[in-house]
Amino acid sequence: MNVMTVNIQLDEKAAEIYTRASWEEQRKLQMLLGLWLREFDDSSLSLPTLMDQISDNAQERGLTPEILESLLNDE
């Protein structure tokens, strides 16, 4: 898979969290963002509706907030 670098603007708190994260955690966040963006590209839905749909799909597949946190904090 080819990889490109893009710059995105984040609020100060989100940027701080990202830059403070380990390299591995940053990779996980990058993968999540990539998945969300692909879902957005394949949809004619608004972003908030799409985000709700992604959340619903994840919950139907068994992803809970606790599991997501554990995956993001996997050490």
What is the spatial distance between Cα 65 and Cα 60, in angstroms, rounded to a whole number? 12
pLDDT band of 53, cuts 50, 70, 90: confident
Q: Say yes or no to pLDDT of 66 above 90.
A: no
- Contact of 53 with 45, CB cutoff 8 Å: yes
Q: Which residue has the tokens 């992803």?
A: 63
What is the spatial distance between Cα 28 and Cα 43, in angstroms, rounded to a whole number? 23
Count of Cβ atoms closer than 10 Å to residue 52 Cβ: 12
Q: How far apart are the first and last CA of the chain?
A: 25
pLDDT band of 48, cuts 50, 70, 90: confident
For the entire predicted model, the pTM comes to: 0.54
Joined together, the tokens standing for residue 68 give 């997501």
pLDDT band of 37, cuts 50, 70, 90: confident
